[in-house]
Amino acid sequence: MASSRSRIHALDELRGFCLVLMIFFHAFYTLGYMFSLPLARDLFRFFEPVEPLFAGIFIALCGFSCRLSRSNLKRGLLLSVVSVALTAATYAFSAIDGIGDVTIWFGVLHCLSVCILLFTVLQKPLARIPTWLGLILTAVLFTLTFGMLEGYVGIGAFRWYFPTEWLANKWLAPLGIGFLYSADFFPVFPWFFCFLFGAYLGNYKSKLPKWTRRQHLRPLAFLGRHSLWVYLAHQPIIFGIAYVIDFII
C-alpha cells in the first residue's frame, strides 16, 4: 500500500468502524461501572453479547494487513513495546485514589503483538497450506477453542475441560487457559485463529473489487489508518469526558 491508489481504503473504513464501536463500548463501561451511570450500564449490558464480533473483525483485519506489510517483525516488536508501556501506564493510573484497578495486563494490543510475531515465525509453513483449506481449518479451530474463554475446548457435548490446577495458573492465562483479571483481556487463543483467518483472506487481496480501493467515508478511513494511536488515546479522553459529566450531574 505504497500509494493512495494502491491502498485498500475499505479495510481502513471497516477498521475505523470497529474502533468506533469499541470506543462506545468502553465509554458505556467507564460511565456505567466506574461512574455509576445507570443508562450507560444498561447500554453496556445490551451491547456486550456482540462485542466479540467486532473485536474478531478487528483482529482478522490485522491478520489481513500482515499480507500487506513490508515488515511484520518490525510491526510485532513495536506493538510489543507499546503493549508493555500500556500495562505500565494503566498500572500507575490504577494507583490513583478512587479509580480502581484498570490495569491492562494482556489486552488486544498484547494479543495482536504476539499474533504478528507468531505469524512472522510460522509464515513459511502456513504458506504451504492452500488458502481455501487454511480458511476452513482456522474457522474450525477458532470454533473449537472459543470455549477456552469459559475453561474448555470443543463444542456441544464434545467438550474437554481444563484441569483445575491449569486454570489456577495465571501464567497460562495469556494463552487462553484460565482467567487473568485485566481491564482488557484478549488471550492468544482462540484469537490467534481469528487472526490467521484474516491472514488467509489476505491472499485474495489482488482479487478485491475496485470499489474497495476507493475512499467512501473519510472519517472512518482516518481512524482506521491511525488505529493504534486512536486506541491509545481513546480511554484517557473517555475518562476526561466522564469526569466532566460526573461533575455536571
Q: Within 10 Å of residue 171's Cβ, how many Cβ atoms?
A: 9
Report the DSSP beta bridge partners of residue 158: 155
Read off the pLDDT of residues 87-134 as tens digits, 9 standing for 90 and up: 999 999 888 766 678 899 999 999 999 999 999 999 999 999 999 999
Average pLDDT of the chain to the nearest whole number: 90
CA–CA gap between residue 15 and residue 24 (Å, rounded)? 15
Read off the pLDDT of residues 191-211 as tens digits, 9 standing for 90 and up: 999 999 999 999 999 888 888
- The answer, yes or no, to whether residue 4 has pLDDT greater than 70, is no
Read off the pLDDT of residues 33-59 as tens digits, 9 standing for 90 and up: 888 888 999 999 999 999 999 999 999
CA–CA gap between residue 182 and residue 39 (Å, rounded)? 24
Q: 31-40, 152-161, 164-173 — which is least confidently predicted?
A: 31-40
Q: 4-13, 171-180, 230-239 — which is least confidently predicted?
A: 4-13
Amino acid 232 reads: L
pLDDT at position 1: 40
DSSP-derived pairing of the beta strands 152-155 and 158-161: antiparallel
All three cell numbers of 9, joined, read 481504503
Q: 18-22, 192-196, 243-247 — which is least confidently predicted?
A: 243-247
Beta strands in the chain (DSSP E): 152-155, 158-161
Nearest Cα neighbor of 100 from 34, 37, 27 is 34
